[in-house]
Structure 1
Amino acid sequence: MNSYENGSKLVLKGGNKLFGEVSLSGAKNAALPMIVAACLGEDFTKLRNVPIGLRDVKILIDILKELGAEIEVDGSTVLCKRGDFPNNRIAPSKASTIRYSLLLLGLTAALNQEIELPLPGGCKIGDRKYDLHILGMQKLGATVVENDQGLYLSSSGLIGSNIEFYLPTTSGTENVMIAAAISEGKTTLLNANTRPEIIQLGELLCAMGAKVTCNNRVVTVEGQSSLAGGVEISVMPGWDEAITYAVAAGVTGGEIYIPNFNTSFIKEDIRYLKIANVEVFEWGSALYVSGKNEKSTFDLFTAPYPGINSDMQPIFASLALTAKGTSTIADLRFTDRFQYVNELIKFGADIKSFGNTAIINGGNKLKGTEVRATDLRGGAACILTGLFSEGETVINSVEQINRGYESIQEKLSLLGADIKIVE
């Protein structure tokens, strides 16, 4: 199963080439805001393809239910409506363990209620501010106060506003969209993040009765008096999962097939895979990846969509270790995303980081070792590196990996990896 507890370890032996078919779960970062948005509705909205096995998804659903939302789970299908949300003005303490609990601010503001929220958790990858969330709520007319207990929000009716972010925050954009959906007047959000997950959130809100447009870093929301809900939508496949398995094929010299997926959302990631000499092509509605060729070096910069997401740079760092020569990775968003570098060094990797850059001298033989998942993607990078390292690798803190990959051990095993969970 995929329910790693604290103290669980992943143990894998390197050297197996990965072959076969791998199916993608729903995208975590699409599902989380969609679950919150669905709780705006007066009637049940049905979300399909929800990655219900992920820790963050489970916690978010638990929080919403504790606060009075009506949510029913049946396999990967989740039914959500407002119910009695919020039946308590103080959110449960578990809200501090996930960053997406911040979206409770937008939900509460839209419903003209009040809530006290503990400061959010998530991956510890540097200065992940929430000032833009506060700015967005205040611009719409909500009162937000930060104190020792966390964030307190109260709303007695939102008014549309023109809001400009100093950087295109993903969850901050989602928070404003959710709040402004039930408001008076029009909200225009400039320098918004309009990545695929946000476009799908807009599609869900429109289906529920809102009026939302998302295009080229601009989001507009025409506020409604209420949202009916009562619709059905499938969560998009996990593009980040697709890239991870594509790199797994690349680093092991294998070949994989991903059904029901296209590359429209990840064109820049695909471009870098091809630069690295990983073959990627689409046929029908499926993606094929071959890692049989000798790998080439690359120089990668993260950037807001449609650029490479900061999330993916640890995954590409593992790929760079298989290319003979020097590759560079610069992260223009989270400089502390490089915490995983010290773990990769334990494999014998020649990789250095300073400031917002990592320099990777690849093509050397690596040996399995004991490492720790510093965060979600850093943990995935350790798995990928262990797959092509000689001998056994032990990965601790795998609950971090379980935050974003559903059944990763089972999926890799089906592709031929020698990998198991040790409790």
Structure 2
Amino acid sequence: MITTMTQTKTFAVTGGNVLSGTVKLSGAKNAALPMIAAACLGEEPTILDNVPVELRDVKILIQVLKEAGAEIQVDGTTVSCARGAFPSGSINPIASEIRYSLLLLGLASALKSELLLPMPGGCKIGDRKYDLHLLGLSKLGSAVEETDEGIHIASSGNIGAEIEFYLPTTSGTENIMIAAAIADGETTILNANTRPEIMELAKLLNLMGADVECSNRVVQIKGAKSIKGGIRYSVMPGWDEAVTYIIASTMTGGEICIPDFSLDFIKEDARLLKEIGIDVFEWGGSVYASGKKAKRSFDLFTAPYPGINSDMQPIFAALAFVVDGKSTITDLRFTERFKYIDELKKFGGSVHSFGNTAIVEGGRPLKGAEVKATDLRGGASCILTALVSEGTTVISNVSQIERGYENIVSKLQQLGANIESQQS
């Protein structure tokens, strides 16, 4: 059982090594989490393969669902999920540590249930509203109320509706897809986020017995009376891992191979990497990248898929340290997602932020420092910067990093990085 505890682990990174070799991706966290929740709609067990079960967010979601009555079994990287008696009893307060606990609301809504969910958590990256979740669930007919204790939902059955988001939300789209899968009538989500993880969720739901269609920014769900489940599906590889390791290697002038991966998942990221001067190509079912050429400054604007996801802007900020010239990074989704910049400043490079923009002037010498992982991607950005800094960097609060990167230390070590996990 997972409990909240004080994290004393740190990462020590000594820069200067060239990272080259092959790295095998884990399953994508942000695909696995909604799939696990959706699989709990099924009357019969649905088996998910390639689940990143070592990630804390995944462990917490599984624990919370099991304690709420779902039938879940874990065997290696395979997870079997069924409805069971969900929900029964109160929701474990540890659910407040992860944002994807919000998907329990969609489950309860679909299964004509009632529950009180502790306020959701996740990375502290500015204003992460969940009002669109509550709006959509209310339009489907659920009674939703925020209280001092959390979010209360009660459902006697959903009725299809047209739901328009004022901005594309990934987990909000997924929540409504889960809730509307068992409903009377058809639900249409307009201005939905239809990134690859959501397309994969739709495929899973359809195999389980739902009727979901996804097109560019529109999702249509024809409600079913029940969802049978009883199928087997593999979680997509972690595209965010892929971008991180490509940049980690090529920042150091190395070359990397990522087997069983496709650039289709990161088309816009790959386009920008090529523009910067990094060779990226796909061959024989693997992706290859080389950072041996000179690298150019760039301007990055985050955008909903197929644009570059907001998650990746801290990773590109680290890359900007090793390019020639001044790069700008503008986040059009989470305008306050620049807390990590204060940590990057400690390396001695030229970097500052204002509003929703960061400016990095590359080519300056960097030195190891004591830094803190302010959030998942900000922490990864510190690791990448440390790889090209003189001396040793110590990174604290690494539980944030381990929320989204399975076995990151061993994977970087396989590529040749001088990185160690330490208990302090």
* TM-score, L = length of structure 2: 0.98
**1:78 to 2:96 alignment:** no
Structure 1: distance between partners of 2:393 and 2:291: 22
Residues 226-250 of structure 1 deviation map (CA, whole Å, 9 limit, x = unaligned): 0000000000000000000000111
Structure 2: distance between partners of 1:148 and 1:167: 27
Structure 2: distance between partners of 1:319 and 1:250: 9
Task: Indicate the residue corresponding to 1:265 in structure 2.
Answer: 265
Residues 358-412 of structure 1 deviation map (CA, whole Å, 9 limit, x = unaligned): 1111111100111000000000000000001001010000000000000000000
- 1:2-401 to 2 correspondences below 5 Å: 6-88=7-89, 90-401=90-401
Give the unaligned 5+ runs of structure 2.
Answer: none
Structure 2: distance between partners of 1:73 and 1:147: 34
Q: Which amino acid aligns with 1:356?
A: N
CA deviation after TM superposition for structure 1 residue 91, in Å: 1.1
The alignment-based identity, stated in percent, is: 64
Structure 1: distance between partners of 2:369 and 2:176: 44
CA deviation after TM superposition for structure 1 residue 168, in Å: 0.4
Structure 1: distance between partners of 2:334 and 2:105: 24
Give the unaligned 5+ runs of structure 1.
Answer: none
User: Secondary structure at 1:226's aligned position in 2?
Assistant: coil
Task: Indicate the residue corresponding to 1:412 in structure 2.
Answer: 412
CA deviation after TM superposition for structure 1 residue 349, in Å: 1.5
Structure 1: distance between partners of 2:209 and 2:125: 36
Do the aligned residues in 2 keep the contact of 1:177 with 1:221 (CA within 8 Å)? Answer: yes
- Report the count of equivalent residues: 420
CA deviation after TM superposition for structure 1 residue 62, in Å: 0.2
Residues 40-80 of structure 1 deviation map (CA, whole Å, 9 limit, x = unaligned): 00000000000001000000000000001010000000000
User: Secondary structure at 1:79's aligned position in 2?
Assistant: strand
CA deviation after TM superposition for structure 1 residue 294, in Å: 1.5
Structure 2: distance between partners of 1:379 and 1:48: 28
Structure 2: distance between partners of 1:378 and 1:353: 14
Q: Which runs of 4+ in 1 moved over 6 A?
A: none
Structure 2: distance between partners of 1:86 and 1:356: 40
CA deviation after TM superposition for structure 1 residue 177, in Å: 0.1
CA deviation after TM superposition for structure 1 residue 5, in Å: 6.9
* Aligned-residue RMSD, C-alpha: 1.0
CA deviation after TM superposition for structure 1 residue 87, in Å: 1.2
Structure 2: distance between partners of 1:166 and 1:16: 46
User: Secondary structure at 1:400's aligned position in 2?
Assistant: helix
Q: Which amino acid aligns with 1:30?
A: A
User: Secondary structure at 2:332's aligned position in 1?
Assistant: coil
CA deviation after TM superposition for structure 1 residue 101, in Å: 0.2
Do the aligned residues in 2 keep the contact of 1:324 with 1:364 (CA within 8 Å)? Answer: no
CA deviation after TM superposition for structure 1 residue 278, in Å: 1.0
User: Secondary structure at 2:265's aligned position in 1?
Assistant: coil
Q: Which amino acid aligns with 1:102?
A: L
CA deviation after TM superposition for structure 1 residue 204, in Å: 0.4
Q: Which amino acid aligns with 1:364?
A: R
* TM-score, L = length of structure 1: 0.98
Residues 246-268 of structure 1 deviation map (CA, whole Å, 9 limit, x = unaligned): 00111111111000001102110
Do the aligned residues in 2 keep the contact of 1:114 with 1:152 (CA within 8 Å)? Answer: yes
Structure 2: distance between partners of 1:201 and 1:307: 20
Do the aligned residues in 2 keep the contact of 1:18 with 1:417 (CA within 8 Å)? Answer: yes
Structure 1: distance between partners of 2:162 and 2:421: 50
CA deviation after TM superposition for structure 1 residue 81, in Å: 0.2
